[in-house]
Amino acid sequence: MSTPIIFVSLGPGDPELITLKGLKALQQADIIFCPATTTSTGKQTSRSANILQELNIEASHIHPFLLPMNKDRSQAHQAYDSVYITAVDSQRQGKRVVIVAEGDAGFYSSVHYIYDKFVATNISVEQIAGIPAFIASGAMAGMHIVSQEEKLMVIPGNITTIELDNYLREGFVIVIMKLSQCKEAVHQCITLHPDYAYHYFENVGTEKEYYTQNRKELIEKGYPYFSLMIIRE
């Protein structure tokens, strides 16, 4: 029986937040696929590769693949299809294959497209859990995100002001991922509900991590891609 292709969750950015199981899988891998993007100046960048390097993973084992960051997911699927083909071929050659994802590989992670493709074609696969960014954010701020019987709603950035208002009235603690996609809705929510606490985080787990509850700043600022917010009473 062939060795399973392993999806390793890297955590939010701090290399020390990877699990011991995840680190062991990386250290034993022959080939590690990690997502990379291209900046506006044409430079290739990869937070995942940076984490791997800080974990002292052999550079020759790291294979970045370019992932277009736009709403048209057809190009991203093409990139994932290419990784799928190479990963299956490598596994058949007896190599130990790992595919990495920031945060947790099963939580708002687009690499699950490849995971599902492996499962659909009966390829042996395994997923190692990691720490999602909002959990790391709560720890950084010393927050107890939910207590006792409080309800938690985690939502992506395609949220409206009306939907936010409804969730708050129903008593949910709200986590908004991909905050840059709903800037105006969040700005309006802060204005309409000044009695709530708005915990804003960006680039958690990196040297650029930032946290604030300043409402005036949050209404005026733009939100980068790696940002999230926790809203609670």
Domain count, the chain: 2
- pLDDT value, residue 225: 85
DSSP SS3 for 30: coil
Give pLDDT tens digits for 165-193.
999 999 999 999 989 889 999 999 999 99
- pLDDT value, residue 75: 81
- pLDDT value, residue 28: 97
Q: Which range marks the domain in which residue 214 is found?
A: 133-232
Those residues of the chain that have pLDDT short of 70 are 1, 70-72
Closest CA to 232 of 158, 160, 137: 137
Same domain, 101 and 192: no
- pLDDT value, residue 72: 66
Same domain, 112 and 224: no
Residues 62, 107, 214, 219: what is their CA dihedral angle, to the nearest 10 degrees?
A: 100
Same domain, 33 and 54: yes
Same domain, 148 and 122: no
> Which amino acid is it at 209?
E
